[in-house]
Amino acid sequence: MTTPTLAARVEAASSVTTSPWPTFWIACIAVFLVSIDSTVLFAAFGALSAAFPAATPADLSWVLNAYTVVYATMLIPAGGLADAHGRKRVFLFGVTLFLAASAACGMADSVPLLIAARVVQALGAALLTPASLSIILDAFPKEKRAVAVSLWGAVGGLAAAIGPSLGTAIVDHLGWPWAFYINLPLGAVSLYFGALRLREARIEGKKARIDLVGMLLLIVAVGAIAMAITQLDSPRWSRLELGALAATSAIAFAAFIAWARTSAAPLVDLALFQNRTYSAVNLATLAFGTAFAMMFFAFFSYMTRIWHFSLPLAGIAVTPGPLMVVPTAIVAGRIAARIGHRPILVIGSLVYAASGLRLLLVPGVEPAYATHWLPGLFLSGIGVGMVLPSLSGAAVAGLPQAQYAVGSAVNQATRQLGAVLGVAVTVLLVGHAQLTRADFIPLYGMHVALALLTGALCLAVKTRPVAR
């Protein structure tokens, strides 16, 4: 029998006594910024229109969608890169790239330059996100991982939820470039303490391969359908051209699936989806991600163009909903650790559907925020707090440790693909110049339907801990 070396004993002792929470917060600061950037421009959309008057709403939607499409596509290989090349190394490189691109976004003086900078920003965001979750999972003992993952998801959910309200204050007082410059000080904190405090971890012997063919096919599939939806009412595109875009998307997606089945190192390992829970969670994530993006875009359109609130007032008005996310997620995470994620996900989806139903039926053209809108906002915050972090937790609950990064990356990518569809549909329905109350009816009808679909899909989720 071999005797452990002194270094091994010291490392083992330190792993027991060192708190994982500093690691958690270092990783979460960066994720917070990434999640904010996925929604902050909902509030800045009007300011961007004013800054670039020659651009159409469909053109400007690509400031949002270019980021989201590239982020979603790169998340998956980024998980493999983190596993193979070191989670700390990939995390720090991702943060650095994200911050440099944020500065470039703020300095952009044209829509094409802004979109290009957003693409680079998305690359950095994709590199750091799965690495951050893997770093957190490595830091916590197994019995505390459900709570840690729920909190990680709650931080991302809260950031995405407060992005629009924070964006209104920043854009109104400082201008739209500061929606990007605000990333720099907090990102620098994460970068500094990450270099100082994080421990390196990798999977020995794993080789990282980037499936360029798979990435290209997925970008074409998602980008083409998003373009087809946003340009549906545009006089610049004929029905034949839009039909060709939709067909291109379908063909590219079918080719992506076929390639993934035959490639030696595909972008997405389809074997992950042999797990019924994992498949159900990702379909639910797609549905919920679409509804989540629709909710925020619709909120600011309704507040500023139906009720004629100022942008700062609309930002204040949206705040109560996001404030419900973190406390709800903390409670939901603790319950999920004991009884599994399914009850939380199903009930949360019903709550979120109820919020959409209220917003569909109750608010009118005359402002009545406290009585007509606020109850629905509270319901949406509770629903998001129950569902969004729980989807992240359920996605990785049954995966082996070697698949944490890639498995979580596929799930986060699926949510981002849903956001692309949500933005595209919302721009189509309420992105035109003259808005009426009736324009929001199909949008909130889809919100309710997608929330109910999320709940139905989550009935197949099985993550209940095995009794011992």
Per-residue pLDDT, 250: 93
Confidence bin at 12 (pLDDT 50/70/90): very low
Answer whether residue 209 shows pLDDT above 80: no
Confidence bin at 16 (pLDDT 50/70/90): very low
> CATH: 3.40.630.30, 3.40.50.10860, 1.20.1250.20, 3.40.50.10490. Which one for 21-211+267-458?
1.20.1250.20
Per-residue pLDDT, 402: 67
DSSP track, 372-429: IIHHHHHHHHHHHHHHHHHHHHHHHHTS-GGGHHHHHHHHHHHHHHHHHHHHHHHHHH
| Percentage of residues in the chain having pLDDT higher than 70 | 91
CA dist 82 and 72 (Å) reads 16
Q: Is 149 helix (H, G, I), strand (E, B) or coil?
A: helix
> Could you give the angle at which helices 145-174 and 111-139 cross, rounded to 10 degrees?
150
Per-residue pLDDT, 202: 62
Answer whether residue 206 shows pLDDT above 60: no
Are the beta carbons of 135 and 82 closer than 8 angstroms?
A: no
Are the beta carbons of 332 and 386 closer than 8 angstroms?
A: yes
Mean pLDDT over 252-277 rounds to 87
Per-residue pLDDT, 6: 38
Answer whether residue 17 shows pLDDT above 60: no
| Percentage of residues in the chain having pLDDT higher than 90 | 32
Mean pLDDT over 129-152 rounds to 79
Per-residue pLDDT, 115: 93
Confidence bin at 345 (pLDDT 50/70/90): very high
- Higher pLDDT pick, 156 / 175: 175
Per-residue pLDDT, 9: 41
8-17, 32-41, 162-171, 382-391: which is most confident: 382-391
Confidence bin at 15 (pLDDT 50/70/90): very low
Confidence bin at 405 (pLDDT 50/70/90): low
Q: Where in the chain is the domain with CATH 1.20.1250.20?
A: 21-211+267-458
Answer whether residue 1 shows pLDDT above 60: no
Give the mean pLDDT of the chain. 84
How confident is the model over 173-184, as pLDDT tens digits? 888 899 899 899
CA distance between the termini of the chain = 31
How confident is the model over 382-403, as pLDDT tens digits? 999 999 889 988 888 877 766 7
In 197-339, DSSP assigns E strands to none
- Higher pLDDT pick, 77 / 295: 295
Answer whether residue 2 shows pLDDT above 70: no
Confidence bin at 3 (pLDDT 50/70/90): very low
How confident is the model over 67-114, as pLDDT tens digits? 888 887 787 777 777 777 788 888 999 999 999 999 999 999 999 999
Tokens of 434: 């003259």
Are the beta carbons of 405 and 79 closer than 8 angstroms?
A: yes
Nearest CA to 281 out of 462, 79, 463, 458 is that of 458
Answer whether residue 205 shows pLDDT above 80: no
> pTM value?
0.77
- Higher pLDDT pick, 403 / 348: 348
23-37, 130-144, 274-288, 323-337: which is most confident: 274-288
